């Protein structure tokens, strides 16, 4: 992929993750000051669309990323994020104030992760013992103004144990990202999962939501939570 095409694709993905609104060529030109004309940027976006990385919801709209765009972004543009300072303090306080590690403590960690990420948080104590929280945050995302999305995710959450069972033994102690066809829960969503290890247990922490999520910050939060539990 040409350098400018990659830069454009990265910015479309980042803007869409933040706003959930189609990204226009005008916004890209005005905000990022590309040293080419608006017409050139529009042509580049058309080429990215023809290559399967972007789609246009309707003729007069900007572009939104496809699954291929998110995958390219994760493979080539992913940056290690610094964890939000307030989030770090809250997670550390949960562990510090309620040690030793216990099931209620880990559930509190999950509730905090749901609040920080605005997604549904998952704790798997085993492949068949799974706790989910944060549905109100999840369903407040713009994607869920469409009833079919609410229905699809409700079905996913009803079968969460099956998805966990597929990956429980394979998740590593650094956050793993799943989306599209690699996602054990549903190819229409995104998930970030990490293994935690305590003196008495091994389990999974994760967040599940629309494919449009802040993967970098979510991975940083999960890695930090995992470290808190491990220490």
What domains does the chain contain, in order, with CATH numbers?
3-76 (1.10.10.10), 85-230 (3.30.450.40)
What is the rounded distance in angstroms from the CA atom of residue 40 to the CA atom of residue 43? 5
Name 220's Cβ contacts closer than 8 Å, sequence gap at least 6. Answer: 80, 81, 82, 83, 175
Which pLDDT score, from 0 to 100, does residue 36 have? 85
Which pLDDT score, from 0 to 100, does residue 59 have? 77
Which pLDDT score, from 0 to 100, does residue 165 have? 96
pLDDT of residue 107 exceeding 90, the answer is yes
Compute the Cα dihedral for 208, 211, 213, 216 and give only its sign.
positive
Q: Which whole-number Å values give the CA distances from 20 to 10, 101, 197, in the listed order?
A: 15, 37, 35
What mean pLDDT comes out for the span 50-78? 93
Higher pLDDT pick, 187 / 224:
224
CB 186 within 8 A of CB 152: yes
For 166-192, b/e burial (b = at least 16 CB within 10 A) is ebbeebeeebbbbbbeebbbbebbbbb
Q: Give the tens place of pLDDT for each residue, 110-169.
A: 999 999 999 999 999 999 999 999 999 999 999 998 888 888 888 888 899 999 999 999
Which pLDDT score, from 0 to 100, does residue 179 have? 93
Range with the poorest average pLDDT among 47-56, 62-71, 148-157: 148-157
Mean pLDDT of all residues belonging to the chain: 93
What mean pLDDT comes out for the span 59-63? 83
pLDDT of residue 14 exceeding 90, the answer is yes
pLDDT of residue 99 exceeding 80, the answer is no
Indicate the Cα dihedral angle 121, 117, 67, 193, nearest 10°. -40
Opening angle at CA 85, ends 218 and 102, nearest 5: 70
Q: Which residues pair with 194 in a beta bridge?
A: 205
Q: Give the tens place of pLDDT for each residue, 181-190.
A: 889 998 889 9
Which pLDDT score, from 0 to 100, does residue 187 have? 87
Which pLDDT score, from 0 to 100, does residue 87 have? 95
Which pLDDT score, from 0 to 100, does residue 178 have? 96
CB 9 within 8 A of CB 73: yes
Which pLDDT score, from 0 to 100, does residue 196 have? 97
Which pLDDT score, from 0 to 100, does residue 10 have? 96
pLDDT of residue 74 exceeding 90, the answer is yes
Range with the poorest average pLDDT among 144-158, 161-175, 193-207, 217-231: 144-158
State how beta strands 129-133 and 120-126 pair: antiparallel
């Amino acid at each position: 992929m040409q350098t400018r095409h990659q830069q454009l694709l990265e910015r479309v993905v980042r803007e869409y993750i933040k706003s959930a609104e189609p990204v226009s060529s005008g916004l890209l030109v005005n905000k990022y000051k590309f040293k080419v004309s608006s017409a050139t940027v529009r042509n580049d976006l058309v080429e990215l669309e023809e290559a399967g990385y972007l789609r246009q919801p309707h003729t007069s709209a900007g572009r939104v990323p496809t699954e291929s765009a998110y995958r390219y972004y994760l493979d080539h543009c992913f940056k290690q994020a610094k964890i939000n300072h307030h989030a770090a303090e809250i997670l550390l306080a949960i562990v510090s104030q309620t040690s030793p590690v216990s099931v209620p403590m880990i559930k509190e960690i999950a509730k905090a992760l749901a609040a920080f990420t605005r997604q549904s948080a998952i704790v798997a104590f085993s492949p068949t013992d799974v706790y989910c929280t944060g549905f109100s945050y999840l369903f407040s995302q713009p994607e869920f103004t469409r009833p079919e999305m609410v229905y699809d995710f409700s079905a996913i959450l009803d079968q969460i144990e099956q998805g966990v069972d597929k990956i429980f033994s394979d998740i590593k102690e650094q956050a793993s990202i799943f989306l599209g066809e690699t996602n054990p829960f549903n190819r229409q969503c995104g998930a970030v999962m990490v293994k935690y290890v305590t003196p008495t247990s091994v389990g999974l922490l994760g967040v599940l939501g629309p494919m449009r999520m802040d993967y970098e910050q979510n991975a940083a939060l999960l890695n930090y939570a995992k470290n808190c539990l491990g220490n």
